[in-house]
Structure 1
């Protein structure tokens, strides 16, 4: 499992069957409630014979107050209009339209259509436009300890119910969504909301989500709110557990470049394989300054020390067997040409150490010395850190770079095996978490 889904725990309290039976609907399922009242209307409607040109409510006002939160919540619907035209007992469809101003800045337009002769089918379409997100700050402060500072939302819903089969299509578009820093609120969910929002934003800085919901309303075990909560939970968990995937889509980039900066064993200089992901990370920070990034150097030090000992032994063998020093421009090529399994290399090792049957790697380590090899790898790791930091500073022309470059420490849960790699860890507000996916070695 992942660490974040444990924080996103929904209320598992099920509605008592007796309550559902008494009410005639599931109070946790708004579509069940709506179907119940539609059924009541339809049953009366079907037994009557009448015609009404129109019926409605004009210039209505609804005020909702919630005083159960840390801060009181108030929301107002004004200019409320509800209208139904051409109502008659022979109509195949009853259509109700509604519109309203939402809290003085947003708008709502809705349409409900139902078959007056059936209690199991209806259609709902509504759109909320220009909804100011800061109005809902009392709820976000109460539940996740982060106030909403800005954001404007467009939400559209198209829902059909045919023979109790629910099919709901939801589209959520949010511009300039920003959460404030975390507040000290007891019992609030510990969720990194600023990180989540940053990861969900696309390249234009907007959040654009499409959320489908479906189910069988006649199933007594189907409860809508847990289904919706699971969908929202999955969006959060995906963003937090796979940030590189979210950023790759936002920046039209290679996901692997957003996961790690990889080096070859004993490599201490940058090539395009390292500068490409580093440049991408700098671009991410320029466009998402609220993010924090750490580059944590990981890898198998023991394996790299063995490689160092092998290479040092090869250098000595080359000099002893040829009588000339290695050409500095052809070191890698010359070392690759030496076969450590050849009789000549084995005989040379016997001459240096005396006859032995240990693996070649162990004999080369004995020749070079474990302490010397470990010290060389320590210098190499320090050199890689320095060259990465220097490159980042150079690209930012000396300005402070909001990327921390460090080695893996004992408290980290990152991998200690594999090729030398700077794993990319994401966070917000200067804090990062070392729980991440292990990158695949090249």
Structure 2
């Protein structure tokens, strides 16, 4: 009996020692076998403590480290797993419960790729190791958790992934593939990264079912991996995503559930005309609804439909070098968006509504030198309250809007002799290579013209169609014009501007428009017609009227043309004009009220033998007792004239009306005397010359011949009818009145006296006829002394009206 007890005690002691060794003393043995199995001899593992329960097959490992060339990169504080005996006997590894509690993995990123303390996992030192055939065994993780584990990646900056909890459940790995569920709660670079998903990968297909994913990304942290153009991008994105992704037979299918991307403090560099610009947005949100995408890798084809809504708050687009504003918006809202993907060359976008709110377009931060003496600050080119785009369809060849409704606040233009729009940014081409490229491109287009029958404007052009454009809300168009003799500020108010059927397609029907506005508080402009805005050779029809337009504001334009300022005046006009191939023709029925012009500015007119009538004097004679002029004027010109704007148009019809009216008045005044008088414009159309014909004499003639008496009768009629006119008569001796050597100008004093006496005899005979025969008062006739002009063939009397 005692021997039996000794045997039992001995066996128990052996088992106790073996159990104690397995539970307490296996760290060194495990470390040895782990190091033997490492793929690189420079890798060294170290395990401080291992506890094994052989009955329950529970393993607890503490303080595990892995180093490369003595540089530690992996630390596991604690590892605990519960295995299944039965499955282990069958050759399967089944982890019933597993936990990694605490640890760190350190990695480095360089141009050569990812390494761990200098170890590159993609390169094995044991290159002679042959790949073994796939095992038929299974690895199952019923519940494997990783807690409080940190992954550090040292790149240009240090990236930290702090895993609070990662759970792999119902996971099976074998030669056929992998299947399982994953749940993740973590912080990536101090931003939330959470995931609940299931996955399945077989030799035939891959399926990833993302129930929910939340991820926050700071773009600054990813700059190292961005393209060079976008390395200065900044901002933050937060994504909430649900999706099902499958891959089978080289086709990828992505079905998106309700998903959203939110951004804040975004800054994106964009290059325009080889000039750097920065686009910023304070807030951004994109929502996707039940969308699907299919991608086929061999052909790179993409198909699918994306349904989305989007909004942006405080959008700002600037040029950093000059700090010029290109575009700003307080808010953008996109509703009912649908993107159809047929292939990379065929993407179609439609949306129900795009609303832009409180925007500015094009504002220079510095005043150009051409304006520095007159302007302290440049206003934006455009400010608006809302622009509403409805029912749009966009693809690679066409952009269509059913309706655009705009509530514009102001359009401000600064015009100088150098630039038509001084406050338009991004106009300077600083890069000479870019200019050469543009020139080369133009040359290429010229050389290839005629290679096919495709019209030039159809090659690669995007057709634009707007069924209705509606601008309303008392929009101010303010023009600061520095091209005239004096700076001019025009404030044109558009109450409504409606344009129908705008199309850039070749041979499209003209667009129809209606415009109602005013130039000041009491004037009115109303026009309607047709226009082809996209045709190189413009076609235009306009019918309309202008009422009670104050002309004094257009005086700087008029004075540059006719030399007279408009002191007062009001314009009323009925307009009917057409533009065909850029040539303007039409008629304007003009009524100018209470017109008064100043004397000629900056020029003194020298009175010659012709009677000169300044334009302001002719207008004064033309107007009725109230200073009114009514006249129809033909209108001609060219549409490409840079001055063919509203100001130029008003100035044009005003000056044409004044000139034509004055000329018509003078012609009508002197038409009964057209036998001896003609009217001509001169001195830049600011003077009218009233020319009285000369009365020629034959050699030595003094008495009046019958023809000369008829001339004298016409002169007498003028003086009788126009009792406010006086006439100056001057005798001139010609070559026929002298003989021989005297024609060379060699006249003695006696001979000079004789020829001058001849001239005076002619003058007295002519005046006697007017006074004695025609009863013209002698005090209305002024006599001149005789002149000798041997360059004139005949002697004569010259006349001028005063």
TM-score normalised by the chain length of structure 1: 0.47
Looking at CA atoms only, which structure, 1 or 2, has the larger radius of gyration? 2
TM-score normalised by the chain length of structure 2: 0.29
- Structure number with the bigger relative contact order (C-alpha 8 A, sep ≥ 6) is 1
Question: Which has a greater percent of strand?
Answer: 2
